[in-house]
Chain A
Amino acid sequence: SQTIHQWPATLVQPVGSPLSLECTVEGTSNPNLYWYRQAAGRGLQLLFYSVGIGQISSEVPQNLSASRPQDRQFILSSKKLLLSDSGFYLCASSRRNSPLHFGNGTRLTVT
């Protein structure tokens, strides 16, 4: 079965600083990969998804970007963080016709 690794688990960053969150997947190949964000007390918002290396689709315009340098690696980045970027960031993975599996997330606080 798939295992999704995300790090760090928590992160506190000042406004204007850069961001790099990494996600790696084990136990599968050629997965679809996703970045979601969850604001406190709210549902999950899809940010980016990728169907292959170098292929990124953005769902909402924002201060963030994503990259997929390897088949099982997905990176979420920002050049300059905003206060509104605070939230719980979740990486997810799926194969065709299989359920979406999530990592345990990174809680980002921008101060």
Chain B
Amino acid sequence: DAKTTQPTSMDCAEGRAANLPCNHSTISGNEYVYWYRQIHSQGPQYIIHGLKNNETNEMASLIITEDRKSSTLILPHATLRDTAVYYCIVRVAANFGNEKLTFGTGTRLTIIP
């Protein structure tokens, strides 16, 4: 699986949009970009994933560059409950039976009141 690079930490004011970048310059054509977050002392929570097109769900939006070498997770109106460590991961979605997500150290996002 391709490796990802994320900033170690970021701050964002409450109510503003939080934009979390991720570089995955060695991503393969069949690898998806996944985002998870982990609130302290809980298991990681799935947020969103995408292949080529931008994606949006009730939690966030995912913007993937045209060359797919980087992406940005957007939390449109950050709240204090969004304070967490955010992980960007790439994986082959159909890699059945050998599906191993490699989690790095992620970005620690702190929402400031």
Contact = CB atoms under 8 A, between A and B. Distances in A.
Interface of A: 4, 32, 34, 36, 41-44, 46, 49, 51, 59, 88, 90, 92, 94, 96-97, 99-105, 107
Contacts of A102: 43-45
Q: Give the interface size class of chain B.
A: 20 to 34
A42 B93 CA distance: 25
Interface of B: 34, 36, 41-46, 49, 87, 93-94, 96-97, 99-106
B46 A103 contact: no
Contacts of A90: 43-44
Per DSSP, chain B at the interface is: loop
Contacts of A97: 93-94, 96
A46 to B, nearest CB: 5
A105 B43 CA distance: 6
